[in-house]
Amino acid sequence: MNRYFPILGWGRVYTRDQLVSDFVAAAIVTIMLVPQSLAYALLAGLPAEVGLYASMLPLIAYAIFGTSRTLAVGPVAVVSLMTAAALSKLGLSSPAEYAAAAITLAALSGFILLALGVFRLGFLANFLSHPVIAGFITASGLLIAAGQIKNILGVKASGENLIELGKSLVPNLGGTNLITAAIGLGATLFLFWVRKGLRPLLLLSGFRPRMADLFARTGPIFALAATAFIAWYFDLGAHGVKLVGAVPRGLPNLSLPNFSLSLVQNLALPALLISIVGFVESVSVGQTLAAKRRQRIEPDQELIGLGVSNLAASISGGFPVTGGFARSVVNFDAGAETPAAGAFTAVGLAGATLFLTPLLAYLPQATLAATIIVAVLSLVDLSILKRTWNYAKSDFAAVAATIVLTLSVGVEAGIVAGVVLSILIQLYKTSRPHIAVIGRVPGTEHFRNIKRHDVETHNSLLSLRVDESLFFANARFLEDEINAELSRRSEIKDIILVCSAVNDIDLSALESLESINNRLHDGGVRFHLSEVKGPVMDKLQKSGFLPHLTGKVFLSQHLGVEELQAKS
């Protein structure tokens, strides 16, 4: 029960001091989440209030099932973009159908995450390499920012990628609403200044560093309040400025997702991608924050926590959610001690939907667009291209392909291409493992690559070290390397395969070793193994390979060379 319900662990020892810390953190995060939730709902193509709905029940669900003490769950920029991309392909004209599809998408994502967690399949997320994730988030940030230019300028534009957005935006620039542009650009500049300039100003005013950080992070609320007041006072809606409009007051109605076969088929792949990307982002944030307090999270249980959170979002009229970086950092810095802070935040957001929504009607959409742009541009890291180019061209290829396809085709194409290319590159690498001819370092028992060190070798003995586990993709490569060495050195009588880096041998590789053994035997060459690991030795003994081995299995390479030299 403790494994599946982490609340039973920290809840038993919950103290009054923790309650106070969690309550204070919740108050600060609630102030931050109101504008974020509204903005990300609009980014997903949904009514603004849906963002608030997606930020309540999921927080309570995560407080029960999540293992991170400070992770804040809710709508995030990248997942909102992926949601918009997935739903836009359905061709739905009715807002009600669009919202219903978002609910179904959240439910599918929840079930996928829940299944991965129950069956402990969190390792599947490892197929998303860090360079690919970094490239995808960078491209998504640029795509999101470009997509908000229309709201900043007050013009019409649409498109799922940078090319379509550009073609749609440029012809409409002449229709820019100057008042909207003034609000949008002004809010953008103010928010950028808040991020960089407000903290030093507060420190000079006598604020403590922690409080200065918190006020700087909640800067967007000031921009929202100021622009909403200006829009109300000057009736900017009558001058063509797009406002959020009336936001329904009250808590969301509970509903069930639509699991029609055609809808599920269309949303299955996007739900899978959203689940994996959301899980990777959430776990990365959770592990980073947990390490700062010498705590730990359980990735498989995190899958369950995020899965239940998405199911909670679906039944409360929301859309897919995950752990967000910005809000989690604010929650951490504000002093949150337990996941109860998230539950308190949910209560605060519920109060906002009950009492504050009439004030949101005059909020300019340009201000929310500015909030999104400032938030997502902090995710853009183009330096990943330089780092991968300098370190490994294969990683650069995966990152570049992910960025280019995300920007030019769309988010789904970008992430799928990144994953597939990463897997193909890894398979190519493992299919051609590093195999070194080694010799003994004079005066020692150490053996090193003859191309890198001045070592001792023997004409009748070939020592090969393979630096990879042996499996179907690289077994043939090992055979070719041995045959190549034999063709160059006809005096070889013994070959020792050093297996110190071999962690596994599958059936295809075993058959390849049998073939090598038989061919060497026919050519009068003995085949030996050395430094075989215990689990690998167990498999070889079960297979019946060892009795037919023409040579021996040596405990160490040194002992093998010594024995064979003595016999020669």
One domain for residues 401 and 455: no
Helices within 240-315 (DSSP H only): 261-292, 299-315
Whole-number pLDDT of residue 233: 94
Residues 418 and 456 reside in one and the same domain: no
d(CA 337, CA 295): 11
370 and 463 in a single domain? The answer is no
Task: Tell me the pLDDT tens digit for each residue of 338-348.
Answer: 999 999 999 99
Residue 210 has pLDDT above 80, yes or no: no
Domain membership of residue 430 (yes or no) is no
pLDDT of 362 reads 92
Dihedral through CA 152, CA 157, CA 158, CA 163, nearest 10?
Answer: -90
pLDDT at 51 over 90: yes
Question: Are 394 and 454 part of one and the same domain?
Answer: no
Other C-beta atoms within 10 Å of 5: how many?
Answer: 13
Could you tell me where the DSSP H helices lie in 121-253?
130-147, 149-153, 162-169, 178-193, 199-204, 209-217, 220-233
Asked if residues 171 and 407 have their Cβ atoms less than 8 Å apart, the reply is no
What was the pLDDT predicted at 423? Answer: 83
pLDDT higher for 167 or 124?
167
385 and 522 in one domain?
no
Rounded distance, CA 299 to CA 283, Å? 7
Q: Please tell me the predicted confidence (pLDDT) of residue 426.
A: 81
209, amino acid identity: P
Task: Express as a percent the part of the chain with pLDDT over 70.
Answer: 99
Is pLDDT larger for residue 527 or for residue 207?
527
Residue ending a domain, among 399, 423, 447, is 423
The last residue of one of the domains, among 423, 445, 472, is 423
Predicted pLDDT at 464? 96
Residue 159, CB half-sphere, CA atoms under 13 Å: how many?
24
Whether residue 384 sits in one domain with residue 252: yes
Residue 496's DSSP bridge partners are 463, 528
Residue 326 banded pLDDT, cuts 50, 70, 90: confident
Check whether residue 479 and residue 356 sit in a common domain.
no
- Judge if pTM exceeds 0.75: yes
* Residues in contact with 452: Cβ distance below 8 Å, sequence separation at least 6, in sequence order: none
What CA–CA distances, in Å, run from 237 to 40, 151, 552?
A: 22, 14, 86
For the four alpha carbons of 295, 299, 301 and 303, in that order, the dihedral sign comes to positive
Residue 456: both structure tokens together: 């001792």
Q: Would you place residue 84 in the very low, low, confident or very high pLDDT band (cuts 50, 70, 90)? A: very high
Torsion angle, alpha carbons of 378, 103, 402, 375, to 10: -10
Tell me the three-class secondary structure of 208-237, residue by residue: CHHHHHHHHHCCHHHHHHHHHHHHHHCCHH
pLDDT digits (tens, 9 = 90+) for 250-266: 899 898 999 999 999 99
Decide if 2 is inside a domain: no
Question: Would residue 513 count as lying in a domain?
Answer: yes
What is the pLDDT averaged over residues 491-498?
95
- Residue 182's Cβ-side half-sphere holds a number of Cα atoms within 13 Å equal to 10
Q: Are residues 415 and 442 in the same domain?
A: no
Question: What is the pLDDT at residue 279?
Answer: 93
At a CB cut-off of 8 Å and minimum separation 6, what does 563 contact? 552, 554
307 and 274 within one domain: yes
pLDDT of residue 443: 92
What gap in Å lies between CA 350 and CA 344, rounded to an integer? 10
Interval 52-62 mean pLDDT: 95
pLDDT at 568 over 80: no
The reply to whether 156 falls in a domain is yes
Own/partner contacts of 215-219, CB < 8 Å, gap of 24 or more, are 217/32, 217/326, 217/329, 217/330, 217/333, 218/28, 218/31, 218/32, 218/330, 219/190, 219/191, 219/194, 219/195
Number of structural domains (the chain) is 2
For residues 210 and 341, state if they share a domain.
yes
| Domain end position, chosen among 423, 446, 474 | 423
Q: What is the mean pLDDT of the chain?
A: 91
- pLDDT category at 356 given cuts 50, 70, 90 is confident
pLDDT at 247: 86
Does residue 518 or residue 291 have the better pLDDT? 518
**Does any domain span residue 455?**
yes
CA distances from 182 to 188, 223, 241, 327, 490 (A): 10, 13, 11, 28, 82
Q: How confident is the model at residue 415 (pLDDT cuts 50, 70, 90)?
A: confident
Residue 194 DSSP symbol: I
Q: Quick check: is 321 in a domain?
A: yes
Q: How far is CA 209 from CA 17, 186, 475, in A?
A: 22, 27, 59
Same domain, 107 and 26: yes
pLDDT digits (tens, 9 = 90+) for 151-208: 999 999 888 889 999 999 999 999 999 999 999 999 999 999 987 888 788 888 888 8
- C-alpha closest to that of 125 among 254, 313, 265, 302: 302
- How does pLDDT run across 273-310, given as a tens digit for each residue? 999 999 988 988 888 888 888 888 888 999 999 999 99
What is the arithmetic mean of pLDDT over 415-424?
Answer: 84
Domain interval for residue 345: 7-423
The predicted pLDDT at position 540 comes to 94
Is the per-residue pLDDT at 246 higher than 90? no
pLDDT at 531: 96
At 149 the pLDDT is 94
Q: Report whether pLDDT(74) > 90.
A: yes
- Give pLDDT tens digits for 374-412: 888 888 889 999 999 999 888 898 899 999 999 999 888
The enclosing domain of 491 has a CATH number of: 3.30.750.24
Interval 349-371 mean pLDDT? 91
**For the chain, what is the radius of gyration of the CA atoms?**
30
Residue 23 lies inside a defined structural domain of this protein: yes
Confidence category of residue 100, pLDDT binned at 50, 70, 90: very high
pLDDT at 128 over 80: no
Q: What SS3 class is residue 425? A: helix
Instruction: Clarify whether residues 369 and 475 are in a common domain.
Output: no
Q: Which pLDDT score, from 0 to 100, does residue 49 have?
A: 92
Residue 255 lies in a domain: yes
Q: Report residue 32's pLDDT band, with 50, 70 and 90 as the boundaries.
A: confident
Highest mean pLDDT among 17-26, 134-143, 530-539: 530-539
